[in-house]
Homo-oligomer: A and B are copies of this chain.
Amino acid sequence: MSFGLENLPYGVIAPAGGAPRCAVRYGDHAIDLDALARAGRLPHLPAGVFAGPVLNPFLTLGRGAWRETRARLAEILAAGHAELIPLHEAEARLPVAVGDYVDFYASLEHATNLGRMFRPGAEPLLPNWRRLPVGYHGRAGTVVVSGTPIARPWGQRPSFGPSAALDVELELGVVTGGPGNALGEPIPVAAAAEHIFGFVLVNDWSARDLQRFEYEPLGPFLGKSFATSISAWITPLEALEPHRVAAPPQDPEPLPYLRADGDWALDIDLEIELNGTVVSRTNARGLYWTFPQQLAHATVNGATARAGDLYASGTISGAERGSEGSLIELTRAGEEPLELPGGRRTYLEDGDTVVLRGAARDVSLGEVSGTVRAAGSTPGGQR
């Protein structure tokens, strides 16, 4: 069975006409966690921790509480002692109130591909890239759950109009948890895992034409901030422990604050489906910078990480053709369009549906989907 006891991801569902409730997924069903807690089945947890519309209070509790909850849920489910809500009778909601959203640039292949396209003729990797996990802040308020329609964004391309280069980015994201760190107190790389609650799939929708005109010198802004989709279910780190593998070698050796013991790459198969056709297959294990390195770097200056923050990997691209994590790479900036049953594509057209999927063998991360809708009427102020 998919989404069996080895998985047990957390999310938030709204049964038809009902209020959103925290839930755990088991097969094609969800279990209402607040109902379990109110029935006294999760006595180790503080009262009301699942009573709200998001998982954040649970995320603050830390690894001990998460482990114990996972063990109890497995017992309850194995014994068949829980009311199962069919997923098709409920709507998925955004599982966390996202505090801050950081997006890294951790794939060597992606950074190289983009560097070639955005800065032709120059060295594709800038001097900082192999020294630190390059990243930036995205917009937390426009992180949306899988299934949310994506309106084509207006902007300066540099002429003003709806983006004509709407793209996807296939990413993995960490949702942080635990008590967090105090301002001014970095999270050591060895302790980073204690701050990782779990993982989601991320589609970092990108309007390449807007991005290209605006991004110097302060980075991407409107080219990214219109929407970022995440999968509905957060797969706990515990479920992915058996799928930790060695990361690629790093050259030069990272500074001590970025040296993590143990294997921290994740053997997760990933794919992009566009209008029903899989157009890319890759694996997260090839990411150059690991998630503990990303988190240690993001806090080395003393910045805090709060429960419910989202740290995404950046686009995950492999080295081979057909393993790139974005359309700009898959089509070589439009020079080699994708031939699909429904028609040729470089960038996304209105009505297109993109589904990203991920699975570490029997531990599925589910999917994150989105359909492009036409740009709205001319933004106000046009005369």
Chain A interface residues toward B at CB < 8 A: 99-100, 105, 115, 118-119, 126-128, 131-132, 134-142, 144, 148, 151, 153-156, 158, 160, 183-191, 207, 210, 213-223, 225-227, 255-260, 296-298, 300-306, 309, 373, 376, 379-383
Which of A99, A134, A141, A218 has most chain B Cβ within 10 Å?
A218
Given contacts A183-B227, A225-B298, 19 further A-B contacts (CB under 8 A): A126-B216, A128-B216, A135-B221, A141-B305, A144-B183, A151-B184, A153-B300, A153-B301, A154-B301, A184-B373, A185-B376, A186-B376, A191-B380, A218-B220, A219-B220, A221-B298, A223-B301, A226-B303, A257-B381
**Contact present for B381 and A296 (CB under 8 Å):** yes
B residues near A127, Cβ cutoff 8 Å? 158, 213
**For the complex, what is the distance from the CA of A226 to the CA of B301, rounded to whole Å?**
6
Best-buried of A128, A144, A260 by chain B (most CB within 10 Å): A128
Is A131 touching B156 in the complex (CB atoms < 8 A)?
Answer: yes
> Which single residue of chain B is at the shortest CB-CB distance from A101?
B137
- Taking the nearest CB of chain B, how far is it from the CB of A238, in angstroms? 23
Closest to A119 in B: B217
10 closest A-B pairs by CB: A219-B219, A188-B380, A151-B184, A153-B301, A136-B218, A186-B379, A137-B137, A226-B301, A222-B301, A257-B381
Q: A100-B141, A153-B301 are in contact. Are A218 and B105 (CB under 8 A)?
A: yes
Q: Which of A148, A155, A296, A305 has the most CB of B within 10 A?
A: A155
What separation, in Å, do the CA atoms of A259 and B380 have in the docked complex? 10
Identify 18 residue pairs between A and B in the complex whose beta-carbon atoms are under 8 Å apart, listed by A's number: A131-B158, A132-B214, A134-B218, A134-B221, A136-B137, A139-B303, A142-B183, A151-B184, A151-B302, A153-B300, A154-B300, A184-B376, A218-B219, A222-B297, A226-B303, A256-B381, A256-B383, A258-B381
Pair A304/B141 contact, Cβ less than 8 Å: yes
CB of A298 to closest CB in B, whole Å: 7
B216 in contact with A257 (CB, 8 Å) = no
Check B134 against A214 for contact (C-beta < 8 Å): yes
A156's nearest neighbour on chain B, judged by CB, is: B132
Q: How far is the CA of A70 from the CA of B258 in the complex (A)?
A: 52
**Does B136 lie within 8 Å of A136, measured CB to CB?**
yes
Partner among B219, B296, B383 whose Cβ is within 8 Å of the Cβ of A136:
B219
Interface pair B160/A302, CB less than 8 Å apart: no
Closest chain B residue, CB of each to CB of A216: B126
Flag if A140 contacts B99 (CB, 8 Å).
Answer: yes
- Checking B136, B153, B222, B301 against A210 with a beta-carbon cut-off of 8 angstroms, the contacting residue is B301
Does the CB pair A190–B380 fall under 8 Å? yes
Task: Tell me, in angstroms, the Cα distance from A265 to B153 when the chains sit together.
Answer: 28
How far is A186 from B154 in the complex, measured between Cα atoms in Å?
Answer: 9
List residues of chain B with CB within 8 A of the CB of A383: 256, 259
A222: chain B residues at CB < 8 Å are 297-298, 300-301, 303
Q: Which residues of B contact A214 (CB under 8 A)?
A: 128, 132, 134
Q: Are B142 and A139 in contact (CB under 8 A)?
A: no
Is there contact, CB below 8 Å, between A380 and B221? no
A190 — which chain B residues lie within 8 A by C-beta? Answer: 380-381
- Contact between A128 and B213 (Cβ–Cβ < 8 Å)? yes
CB distance from A322 to the nearest CB of B (A): 26
Contact A309-B141, Cβ < 8 Å, known A221-B136, A257-B160: yes
Q: What is the chain B residue whose CB lies nearest that of A382?
A: B256
Residue pair A380, B137 in contact (C-beta under 8 Å):
no
Distance in angstroms between the alpha carbons of A275 and B255 in the assembled complex: 35
**A68 to B18 alpha-carbon distance, docked (Å):** 35
